């Protein structure tokens, strides 16, 4: 008996769209055996018509306007690979209004407009699948939403931006400054011409927002995320951290507490003995702590044509398998039933507890350390480790580096304010957060 194919409209045939086309064709037989029906891209929309036609060899219908895919009665599911949240949002909403299922890799769109998109999708009884939106080829959405469904998830922490992990790895390996490595990363194609979203932590925050929503059953709250990137990070701090047994990674972290969730992206010191500290280059890794399973970790490529296509096609197979299921019996968009979402909001960063790395430039003279440690003691901040560099003889100055035990961020900031007022402390302190994952 022949089964009707799943008819797919592909909006955007760039790197990921091209990879999706290639893998769907190369593995068509395996995919059909798994999905129970063939999955066929029947129409493609892209601004670059010549490229689209060259890639597909003229085998599919080409439409110049993606909106035509959203309204096409001959299409069951659209893949949105347009990017951004302008036209892409209108396209996704229009497809949903027309009863189409949606597969998207668009983390920015979901983190900022996901609540509206999922509400409309639920009303229309269609699926919105987004495995490719977080950590590319790593099936972390599947893991959080289905594999770990028995667990009360306690926290998720991930290296979820390959560009910044590549830059940090190079800075550490070669002792180079951020700007130098960024230029090299751009030359090699690891960083985009406008790298702002990657280097300033915005891309990672989009992904962390999505993971927080699925892990804890909360709405998308991107606007409340605390975001710091790596552009101000100095090679010196990477080197000092290493001397103390730590590596610095840009982590997306989300943790559950009784009264709210933490949602933050920032450079983070991690013990170099931890597995995640050894994830190097452009690779991604996500570490999840569940109350029943304990620690689990997921590692792989977070970007690239075929790794991301792997996730897009997994979503297509899910759509093919669940097409005829009653919408109420499908896996909920955000892992929890829509009427069972929690009203937990994001805790302000001032209320977050962390350990801290501090670097201070100080005059090399008696009493300096006593003054600094007095301020910390007065703020009830306990020191865990301490390190002082050889003084610069000519300048009579030196760097003091210390790591604290857990304390409240607002207490740490208050203490730093007082330390910077000390006459023997020169310039501004460098403050980085440290995670033990205990
Ligand atoms: N630009 C991202 C990264 C990949 O560097 O990991 C897509 O989100």
To test the pocket of ligand 1, the residue of 140, 204, 252, 303 to mutate (highest count of ligand atoms within 8 Å of its CB) is 303
| Alpha-carbon gap, residue 431 to 410, rounded angstroms | 13
Virtual CA dihedral for 306, 310, 316, 318, nearest 10 degrees?
Answer: 180
**If 0-12 CB within 10 Å is exposed, 13-18 middle and 19+ buried, where does residue 319 land?**
buried
What is the per-residue pLDDT for 308?
Answer: 97
Angle at the Cα of 15 (from 53 to 197), degrees rounded to 5? 140
Phi, psi angles (nearest 5°) of residue 3: -105, 145
Distance from residue 386's CA to the centre of ligand 1 (Å):
36
What is the per-residue pLDDT for 58?
Answer: 80
Q: Which of 182, 184, 180, 217 is nearest to 198 (CA)?
A: 182
Question: Do 155 and 254 form a contact (C-beta atoms < 8 A)?
Answer: yes
pLDDT by residue for the chain (438 residues), tens digit each?
578 999 999 999 999 999 999 999 999 999 999 999 999 999 999 988 888 888 888 889 999 899 999 999 999 999 999 999 999 999 999 999 999 999 999 999 999 999 999 999 999 999 999 999 999 999 999 999 999 999 999 999 999 999 999 999 999 999 999 999 999 999 988 888 899 999 999 999 999 999 999 999 999 999 999 999 999 999 999 999 999 999 999 999 999 999 999 999 999 999 999 999 999 999 999 999 999 999 999 999 999 999 999 999 999 999 999 999 999 999 999 999 999 999 999 999 999 999 999 999 999 989 999 999 999 999 999 999 998 887 777 778 999 999 999 999 999 999 999 999 999 999 999 999 999 998
Q: Which atom of ligand 1 is nearest to the CA of 206?
A: 8
Query: What's the CATH fold of domain 350-434?
Result: Alpha-Beta Plaits (3.30.70)
Q: Which of 284, 215, 285 is nearest to 255 (CA)?
A: 215
What is the per-residue pLDDT for 63?
Answer: 92
| Alpha-carbon gap, residue 3 to 6, rounded angstroms | 9
Residue labelled with tokens 């760097």: 399
**If 0-12 CB within 10 Å is exposed, 13-18 middle and 19+ buried, where does residue 426 land?**
middle
SS3 state of residue 281: coil
What is the per-residue pLDDT for 97?
Answer: 98
| Alpha-carbon gap, residue 399 to 364, rounded angstroms | 9
Question: Do 17 and 83 form a contact (C-beta atoms < 8 A)?
Answer: no
Distance from residue 191's CA to the centre of ligand 1 (Å):
9
Q: Which of 100, 107, 142, 207 is catalytic?
A: 207
Distance from residue 268's CA to the centre of ligand 1 (Å):
19
Query: What's the CATH fold of domain 6-137+305-340?
Result: Rossmann fold (3.40.50)
- The conformation of residue 168, written as its DSSP 8-state character, comes to H
Return the residue whose CA atom lies nearest to atom 2 of ligand 1: 161
What is the per-residue pLDDT for 1?
Answer: 54
Within 6 A (CB) of ligand 1 lie: 161-163, 198, 203, 302-303
Domains in the chain: boundaries? 6-137+305-340, 140-300, 350-434
CATH number of 140-300: 3.30.360.10
CATH topology of 140-300 equal to that of 350-434?
no
Q: Which of 118, 108, 101, 80 is nearest to 334 (CA)?
A: 118
Annotation marks residue 363 as catalytic: no
What is the per-residue pLDDT for 166?
Answer: 97
3-state per-residue secondary structure call for 13-72: CCHHHHHHHHHHHHCHHHHHHHHCCCEEEEEEECCCHHHHHHHHCCCCEEECCHHHHHCC
Alpha helix locations (H) across 302-402? 305-322, 368-378
To test the pocket of ligand 1, the residue of 134, 135, 161, 250 to mutate (highest count of ligand atoms within 8 Å of its CB) is 161
Angle at the Cα of 282 (from 281 to 285), degrees rounded to 5? 95
Q: Which atom of ligand 1 is nearest to the CA of 162?
A: 6
Angle at the Cα of 191 (from 225 to 247), degrees rounded to 5? 65
Phi, psi angles (nearest 5°) of residue 13: -120, 55
């Amino acid at each position: 008996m022949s089964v009707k194919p799943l008819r797919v409209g592909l909006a955007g045939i760039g790197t990921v769209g091209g990879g999706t086309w290639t893998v769907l064709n190369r593995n068509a037989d395996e995919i059909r055996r798994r999905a129970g029906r063939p999955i066929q891209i029947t129409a493609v929309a892209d601004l670059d018509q010549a490229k689209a036609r060259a890639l597909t060899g003229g085998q599919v219908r080409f439409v110049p306007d993606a909106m035509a895919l959203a309204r096409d009665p001959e299409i069951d599911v659209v893949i949105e690979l347009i990017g951004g949240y302008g036209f892409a949002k209108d396209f996704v909403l229009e497809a949903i209004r027309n009863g189409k299922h949606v597969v998207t890799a668009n983390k920015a769109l979901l983190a900022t407009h996901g609540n509206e998109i999922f509400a409309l999708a639920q009303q229309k009884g269609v699926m919105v699948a987004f495995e490719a939106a977080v950590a590319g080829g790593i099936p972390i959405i599947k893991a959080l939403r289905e594999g770990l469904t028995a667990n009360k998830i306690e926290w998720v922490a991930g290296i979820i931006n390959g560009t910044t992990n590549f830059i940090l790895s190079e800075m550490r390996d070669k002792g180079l400054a951020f700007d130098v490595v960024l230029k090299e990363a751009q030359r090699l194609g690891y960083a985009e011409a406008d790298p702002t979203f990657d280097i300033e932590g915005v891309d990672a925050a989009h992904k962390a927002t999505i993971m927080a929503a699925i892990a804890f059953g909360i709405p998308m709250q991107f606007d409340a995320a605390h975001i710091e990137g790596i552009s101000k990070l100095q090679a010196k701090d990477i080197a000092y951290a290493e001397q103390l047994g730590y590596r610095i990674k840009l982590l997306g972290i989300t943790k559950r507490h009784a009264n709210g969730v933490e949602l933050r992206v920032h450079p983070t010191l991690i013990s170099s003995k931890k597995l995640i500290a050894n994830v190097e280059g452009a690779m991604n890794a996500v570490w999840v702590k569940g109350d029943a399973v304990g620690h689990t970790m997921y590692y792989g490529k977070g970007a690239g044509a075929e790794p991301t296509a792997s996730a897009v096609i997994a979503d297509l197979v899910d759509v093919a398998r669940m097409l005829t299921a009653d919408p109420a019996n499908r896996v909920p968009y955000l892992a929890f039933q829509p009427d069972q979402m929690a009203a937990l909001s994001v805790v302000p960063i001032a209320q977050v507890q962390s350990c801290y790395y501090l670097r201070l430039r100080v005059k090399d003279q008696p009493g300096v350390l006593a003054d600094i440690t007095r301020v910390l003691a007065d703020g009830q901040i306990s020191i865990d480790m301490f390190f002082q560099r050889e003084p610069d003889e000519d300048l009579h100055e030196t760097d003091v580096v210390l790591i604290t035990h857990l304390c409240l961020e607002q207490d740490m900031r208050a203490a730093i304010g007082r330390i910077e007022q000390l006459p023997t402390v020169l310039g501004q302190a460098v403050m980085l957060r440290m995670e033990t994952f205990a």
